[in-house]
Amino acid sequence: MQPRRRETRMIRKVFYRLKRDYGFPIRLYKITNVTLDLEAGTKTRRVRYKSIPRAVFVTAKLYRSFVYDLSFIAVNKNFVSGGFFDPEDRVILIDWQDTRDFEIEVDDYIVYNDKHYLITQVRTFENDAGYLVKVRGTTGSELVDAGALEISSDIEITQTVAADAIP
């Protein structure tokens, strides 16, 4: 057996174990088209989504971040303004077999547990065995979850047809 095939098989076994023990269902969304109606002031998005039965979540940062305001740094070196915040950065392991016809790209987004995560970085494992996706939780963004929408249709019959049976 070739070394590359052995490594790929080992990666797939590890994926299977992680998915089985720590996997959560997520939906992966790709915005395919955005239409702006300037008169009404509305934005219509067309999305394509893929349900992934088990993806593995890993916390990327466990510490509090601080961001400086650059305008205060440039004007007065002694006075610095900024703020502490807790980033919701996470790393998600996704198996290639769950996304065969769906290409994961930056600026796609993921919905997990009714929370919106924007994809900021995508890495591919050797021989396309899986993806290592870095996401950032977005607070206050509009949640467009097409998988949670109900689609129904009503059929109204307006004509009737009568026919005699042919012997």
Q: With 70 as the cut, is the pLDDT of residue 82 above it?
A: no
CA proximity to 66, closest of 84, 53, 47, 52: 84
DSSP assignment letter at 8? H
Question: Per residue in 90-123, pLDDT tens?
Answer: 899 998 888 888 889 898 899 888 888 889 999 9
The secondary element (H helix, E strand) that includes residue 112 is strand 109-112
* CA gap 138, 81 in Å, rounded: 23
Does 149 or 9 have the greater pLDDT score? Answer: 9
Q: Residue with structure tokens 């047809």?
A: 161
Per-residue model confidence (pLDDT) at position 73? 52
